Amino acid sequence: MEISDDVLCLFSAQIGGQNGSYHINIPERELTLGDLELGSSYRVAILSSDSAQTTPTEAQRSTHDRTTPEPPVEVGDQRTVDIEDIGEQGDGIARVERGYVVVVPETELNERVTIEITDVTKTVAFGEVLEREEYYQ
């Protein structure tokens, strides 16, 4: 089974019931470390446990193992990112999967740039601007 890049989280759970209603508990880590927000609406797909693969894909392993998540970028990766913030040192800050921070020097707030990742740590990566977009919507 292939897993779409649009999947925000992936976990196993049992369906519970109470007073004629049924529910699935979402692990807290999906809200604190993932891309989910309390009060937002999402689509849910339910797969039988028989359809589970015996060997998880790389995407499944990284989504399931939230205790020590691997950075979603590697040195040499190229990404187009939006500069969402400016850090204390004046560098641009972009966020990619799971809110992972990429620091991009010599950028401005709301600028969209294509970068190459030059350094990666567990909590932050650093990128160098390859191309700047003049205007985007």
Report the distance separating Cα 59 and Cα 71, nearest Å: 12
Tokens of 3: 């897993």
**Percentage of the chain surpassing pLDDT 90?**
39
How high does pLDDT run on average in the chain?
A: 80
Which tens digits make up the pLDDT trace of 84-136? 999 888 999 999 998 899 999 999 999 999 999 999 998 899 999 999 987 65
Looking at the structure, do residues 88 and 117 belong to the same domain, yes or no? yes
With beta carbons less than 8 A apart as the criterion, state whether 26 and 36 touch: yes
CATH number at residue 93: 2.40.50.140
In a domain, 97, yes or no: yes
The per-residue pLDDT for 57 is 53
**Does residue 19 or residue 61 have the better pLDDT?**
19
The per-residue pLDDT for 53 is 47
In a domain, 4, yes or no: no
Looking at the structure, do residues 51 and 85 belong to the same domain, yes or no? no
With beta carbons less than 8 A apart as the criterion, state whether 73 and 125 touch: yes
Which tens digits make up the pLDDT trace of 35-59? 778 888 878 777 766 644 444 555 5
Report the distance separating Cα 66 and Cα 22, nearest Å: 26
In a domain, 123, yes or no: yes
The per-residue pLDDT for 5 is 66
pTM, full prediction: 0.51
Task: Identify the domain containing residue 119 by its residue range.
Answer: 78-132
The per-residue pLDDT for 29 is 73
Looking at the structure, do residues 82 and 128 belong to the same domain, yes or no? yes
User: What is the mean predicted confidence (pLDDT) over 11-27?
Assistant: 81
Report the distance separating Cα 137 and Cα 124, nearest Å: 27
Report the number of distinct structural domains present in the chain. 2
The per-residue pLDDT for 81 is 94
User: Phi first, then psi: what are they for 98, rounded to 5°?
Assistant: 60, 20
Report the distance separating Cα 103 and Cα 125, nearest Å: 6
**Does residue 69 or residue 105 have the better pLDDT?**
105
Give the CA diameter of the chain.
57
34 band by pLDDT with thresholds 50, 70 and 90: low
